Amino acid sequence: MGFPLTGVKVLDMSRVLAGPFAGRMLADMGADVVKLEPPEGDITRIWGRKVGGVSGYFNQQNAGKRDVSVDLSEARGTELVKRLVAVADVLIENFRPDVMGRLGLDYATLAAINPRLIMLSISGFGAGNEDSRRAAYAPIVHAETGLVERQADLSSAFPADIACSVADTNASLHGLVALLSALYAREQTGQGDHIDLAMVDATLVTNDGMNYALDGLRRPLPNEVHETAGGHMMLAGEFRYIWKQLSEVCGVQDGLDDDATLEEKIETRRNAAHRFFTETCADRAAVIAALDKMNIAWGDVRTAADTTGLASVQARGTITEIDDRAGGTRPIPQSPYRFHNADARVQGGAPLLGEHNAEVLSDWLDMDVAEIDEWQDVLISRAADEH
């Protein structure tokens, strides 16, 4: 089948993470994704190690895309965007809800130009409410949706942001689902659509413990990391379940009388579990054998860099190598999609700013060299400087 989204044209006007990640996944599945940047470029172009003129963070979220840089402060800049929209299937943007309107690029205007256009707008709090104009990065949404408080409560620590921008990536992936659904619907109706996706909505619906909060209940104790003879391991199941398996399967006893208090039971049983995992189990192999015998799922507490040592990561090629534009290669996460018949994979590294100005105008708008030259007042290219 080849790539499932071959022929789909995507204009990606988004920046940082929530929008760009959705565009990256579309590119992995074969869409022609053109990132449209302002003259100053996406701020993530300076995040991480720069190789071949491209930073690591920008590379991960924008791999496989082409790039045009347009000055939208000029009227001709927005005119050029409208010409690109006229032939696009999808537009992705993650400005605050009123920005596209102020640019003259709101959905009503663009849909009049291209009724088949599917527009994904990702914002922190969605359009049309009192929070709409608030600046919203992932940490802000984490705080507002209870994730920061939940982590602080469970860890008995001062509130701090969680270590992954899940509000961004959840919004991105929910946006991707909505886009693909709209593309399918368009095949039936011929009509495009506008998706108003709020990070706060995506975060709440993806919170598997939200039901406890809505029902006024305290969430059960979490899975915990245990010290073992094989290093720190995350064990699946709250401690009551772990203790039940230890006592029934491995014969670990607490030695307590029936009249022991709850506090005494907890402390004694935790100490007994610790001795079992660190002393009775003399080494890593013994720990794993005991956990497998108890049917307790376990995982090593690794650094992100150490994940490359996982057998599954190595076998599946989860981290792959791409041309680094500097005479070598650099690692990047591979597409997570594994189709039986179709293909999906990272299409190459991320583009330099304005690298494909002429190429995209030629491919999408059939402009010749002379016509492209007429747009040089709004086209920006720093490809040579960055490289």
Could you give the CA distance from residue 240 to residue 224 in angstroms, rounded to a whole number? Answer: 11
The DSSP 8-state label assigned to residue 322 in this structure reads: E
Active site residue 168: yes
Could you give the CA distance from residue 64 to residue 54 in angstroms, rounded to a whole number? Answer: 13
CA angle 200, 205, 207 (to 5 degrees): 95
Could you give the CA distance from residue 308 to residue 304 in angstroms, rounded to a whole number? Answer: 8
Return the H-helix or E-strand segment holding 194: strand 193-198
Q: Which residues does 53 contact at the CB level (< 8 Å), separation at least 6?
A: 325, 352, 383, 386, 387
| Burial of residue 136 (number of CB atoms within 10 Å: 0-12, 13-18, 19+) | buried
Residue found under tokens 């299409």:
347
Q: What residues form DSSP beta bridges with 92?
A: 12, 120
User: 227: how many CB neighbours lie within 10 A of its CB?
Assistant: 11
Could you give the CA distance from residue 240 to residue 55 in angstroms, rounded to a whole number? Answer: 46
Could you give the CA distance from residue 199 to residue 138 in angstroms, rounded to a whole number? Answer: 8
Sign of torsion, CA 97 103 104 109?
negative
94, two tokens: 């993650």
Residue found under tokens 């999808």:
90
Could you give the CA distance from residue 135 to residue 336 in angstroms, rounded to a whole number? Answer: 30
Edge-to-edge strands of the sheet including 231-235?
A: 224-228, 231-235, 298-300
Return the H-helix or E-strand segment holding 211: helix 210-214
Catalytic residue (choose from 12, 42, 168, 254): 168
Catalytic center residues: 168
